[in-house]
Structure 1
Amino acid sequence: MHTNKNAVKNWFETELDVSRETMSHLELYADLVVKWQPRINIVGASTTEDVWARHLQDSAQIWPHLAENAQKEETKIVDFGSGAGFPGIVLSILGANHVTMMESVTKKTVFLMEACRVCGCLAKTRVARERIEAAKPENADIITARAFAPLPKLLEMGQRHLKAGGKYVLLKGRAYEAELADARDAGWKFSVTTFPGIVDPDGVVMILEGVER
């Protein structure tokens, strides 16, 4: 279903109270995704006509759940499998102070760096072109991910990158309950809070705290 772009922009203005400058950066970013898509296939081709809802709004819905911490000088967010920058670049545009985007595909990291430059995020972001399981520990306060990996694998890869007391803020689809069960079956313990998805009614924003094995 195609969503009205103006309605989504209105959501950013009314629900997230974004400034005119922030909205301008979001528009630059959306245009860049559409422009680069034919060349490097950074998002699903069928979703570019609805990039505002399917990608920007979908990513931005996690902002209220981490905004207070994300804007602090010392808070480090690490975004796994950033791809075209969802949600990492969106969070940076919205005001996150320190976002590291981990992406192993070179052509996608080239796009990420260009998007950070165009959207004025270079000073607040780092693009790490490396495999998550091989990279040195990131000591993240918050780990984010969208359409990245099933929860047991994500935790297996992510736990050494998360500092003590840190949390995961994830976007998950309709299979989230099965993923939670699989993670518990694999020996993971955690407290979980979920919030209904705004764009995908079958999906959720999932927050995991106290993760251990």
Structure 2
Amino acid sequence: MQTNTESVKKWFETELHVSRETMSRLEHYADLVVKWQPSINIVGASTAEDVWARHLQDSAQIWPHLADIAQKSDTKIVDFGSGAGFPGVVLSILGANHVTMMESVTKKTIFLTEACRLCDCLGKTRVARERIEAAKPENADIITARAFAPLPKLLDMGQRHLKPGGKYVLLKGRAFESELADARNAGWRFSVTTFPGLVDPEGVVMILEGVER
């Protein structure tokens, strides 16, 4: 009988068609998260026991929605509030060429840097220990975020970091409809596409394009 971890690894192989090398790097990364968790609390304690589904698979479900553009040499992804690297490190391991992970908590940036080094992602990533609202504009093609901030606040902070024609690819929970309404009430205009969440049945992958105020 398969464990949950084994079934998630099978999902990576059959749905995302990852190579053995990529799977090995994902396994190394998952082990690092579990190893560092007791000392710096980089993920919720209740989710650390199921890091493959609750974090790696949850992050990786956005890959099919940006893989084509993310693998181009000139595409820049900026991940807000990266924490332990979800989804930033996962996207880099899967093949994204340029991922900037913005995280203001020092102990988390130390982990991110070490994880990128050990998972052979340093050449494709940048760890920025900065507050998003104070950092210089990033000119991103894609902004990602997971469990970061309500949509109106995210757009308030993020829009100056997004290049014209760029888009947001976000992981949102059960309150996503009210967040969309709040953002529109705050004067934001955009086109939105949502896809059912793979790990959280009440959540969604949310793609925003044409964002303006």
Aligned-pair identity (%): 87
Matches within 5 A, 1:43-62: 43-62=43-62
In structure 2, the residue matched to 1:151 is 151
1:145-186 deviation per Cα after TM superposition (whole angstroms, max 9, x unaligned): 000000000000000000000000000000000000000000
In structure 2, the residue matched to 1:194 is 194
One-letter code aligned to 2:212: E
Q: How many residues align?
A: 211
One-letter code aligned to 1:145: A
Q: State how far apart, in whole Å, the 2-side matches of 1:117 and 1:47 are.
A: 24
In structure 2, the residue matched to 1:109 is 109
Any unmatched runs of 5+ in structure 2?
A: none
What is the RMSD of the two structures over their aligned residues, measured on CA atoms? 0.5
1:81-123 deviation per Cα after TM superposition (whole angstroms, max 9, x unaligned): 0000000000000000000000000000000000000100000
In structure 2, the residue matched to 1:68 is 68
Q: Does 1:204 align with 2:204?
A: yes
In structure 2, the residue matched to 1:138 is 138
In the TM superposition, what is the alpha-carbon distance from 1:5 to its structure 2 partner? Answer: 0.4
In structure 1, the residue matched to 2:4 is 4
One-letter code aligned to 2:82: S
In structure 1, the residue matched to 2:39 is 39
In structure 2, the residue matched to 1:80 is 80
One-letter code aligned to 2:209: E
> Secondary structure of 1:72's match?
coil
In the TM superposition, what is the alpha-carbon distance from 1:25 to its structure 2 partner? Answer: 0.2
One-letter code aligned to 1:135: A
Q: State how far apart, in whole Å, the 2-side matches of 1:15 and 1:96 are.
A: 17
In structure 1, the residue matched to 2:178 is 178
**Stretches (4+) displaced over 4 A:** none
Any unmatched runs of 5+ in structure 1?
A: none
One-letter code aligned to 2:148: F
One-letter code aligned to 1:102: M
Q: State how far apart, in whole Å, the 2-side matches of 1:195 and 1:120 are.
A: 31
> Secondary structure of 1:9's match?
helix
In structure 2, the residue matched to 1:26 is 26
One-letter code aligned to 2:127: V
Q: State how far apart, in whole Å, the 1-side matches of 2:177 and 2:4 are.
A: 30
One-letter code aligned to 1:141: D
In structure 2, the residue matched to 1:163 is 163
In structure 2, the residue matched to 1:89 is 89
Q: State how far apart, in whole Å, the 2-side matches of 1:157 and 1:49 are.
A: 32
Q: State how far apart, in whole Å, the 1-side matches of 2:51 and 2:128 are.
A: 24
> Secondary structure of 1:138's match?
coil
TM-score (norm 1): 0.99
